[in-house]
Amino acid sequence: MIAIIDYGMGNLGSVQKALTFLGYESVITDRPETANSATGLILPGVGAISSAMDSLKEKKLDGLVRDYVATGRPFLGICLGMQMLFDDSDEYGPDGQVVRGLGILSGSVRRFPGDMGLKVPQIGWNDLTYVAHDDLRADDYVYFVHSYYCVPALRENIAATAVYGIEYAAAAKKDNVLGVQFHPEKSGEVGLAILNRWARRTR
């Protein structure tokens, strides 16, 4: 069973519907004991990272994520769920302080430059270019919605890149952890194939 973490932010229903379509049993939960018993764990997310981290901590799910990752079981972070895996973010909190992430991946989250001549946020389809993960394919055409992008401290943690004015990490990896900035559950057949390749690891 795959657990989808419910901390009050994210396209939980869309992710679960995609898993169901692919034939995987899943549960949406905010209970650490339920999530910890799962064969795979997904951290989705949309919105502001400060609110997301506050909610995750309030529900005591931040420790659950770190402990789960340490077990070596498959873990997937989607969009904001990928950004929260990093050390910190330029998306400052309401008090103007740097927002601290989960620190599972070394690096930071930065806002797209305002002088690219492109609209921010990036909303729409884009190709993956460089790819270094078995669940992804070069030229996969996937759906993005984001104003911030991840900057891994280590090149080896970049699982894929995309270009939107600048080249950035569209996916990140470390051992059993995969984070994707795009939304596989909204990326049609290509997204379902990516989700399926990841979910197979949970069986």
Report the catalytic residues.
Answer: 79, 183, 185
Cis peptide leading into residue 121 (ω within 30°) = yes
- For residue 107, the one-letter residue type is G
- What is the maximal distance between C-alpha atoms in the chain? 47
Nearest 5°: the CA angle 15, 17, 22 is 100
DSSP secondary structure of 46-93: -S-HHHHHHHHHHTT-HHHHHHHHHTT--EEEETHHHHTTSSEESS--
